[in-house]
Chains A and B, each alone.
Chain A
Amino acid sequence: EAGVAQSPRYKIIEKRQSVAFWCNPISGHATLYWYQQILGQGPKLLIQFQNNGVVDDSQLPKDRFSAERLKGVDSTLKIQPAKLEDSAVYLCASSSGLAGDSEQYFGPGTRLTVT
């Protein structure tokens, strides 16, 4: 079974530029998550999708971050414009359901550096 795929793996941009990350979840997984992991911290949930609908985006900075999952499969996360404090690893995860015992499978992440 293929795991969660993310691209690119690394990205360096200047502040005020735009960037987009892509995630392909495990086949058949209805739930998709985007986390932000700042160096030295644990992952923080940014947004959660159930199929193509948003179930939680309470910690997404909506003035600059956006995410979509148009066909309920792949997802993109965009930052526009980027700030220095957006430097982090962006992790995508997927699970088969919303129950607490539905394991979240994580991708390798995209490391973003904003200069």
Chain B
Amino acid sequence: GEDVEQSLFLSVREGDSSVINCTYTDSSSTYLYWYKQEPGAGLQLLTYIFSNMDMKQDQRLTVLLNKKDKHLSLRIADTQTGDSAIYFCAESIPSGYNKLIFGAGTRLAVHP
């Protein structure tokens, strides 16, 4: 079945790195995504990785994909208070038309 799991909460100190983890079940997933949701706002795509890649870096963001273990992580370097939000992992189901399956989200709290 299709399922995406994430830890619910992460607290980090400003300036430290944050690592948000995600596991998924569908080994045929073609794309995996990280979305950010701030209070009262819709979801914003942060980055995505194609399933044949191991790593993708985009400025402060690093995505690591372990396809064997079906594990995805998002590392945010030099975390700032503006990074406080809920982060959703999602997988694209190839049998669907760009259908996304989301995890429950990880709430990131950044404190001084």
Contact = CB atoms under 8 A, between A and B. Distances in A.
Do A and B interact with each other, yes or no?
yes
Contacts of A44: 102
A101 B50 CA distance: 8
A55 B88 contact: no
Contacts, number: 62
Contact of B42 (A48, A95, A100, A106): A106
A100 B102 contact: no
Interface of B: 4, 30-31, 40-45, 48, 50, 88, 90, 92, 94, 96-100, 102-105
A104 B100 contact: yes
Contacts of A107: 42
A95 B44 CA distance: 13
* Interface secondary structure of A, over-half rule: loop
Given A31-B98, A103-B45, A106-B44, 20 more contacts: A4-B42, A31-B97, A41-B104, A42-B88, A42-B90, A42-B102, A42-B103, A42-B104, A43-B102, A44-B102, A45-B100, A48-B97, A98-B97, A100-B30, A100-B48, A101-B31, A101-B48, A105-B45, A107-B42, A108-B41
A48 B45 contact: no
A14 interface: no
Interface size class of A (residues with CB under 8 A): 20 to 34
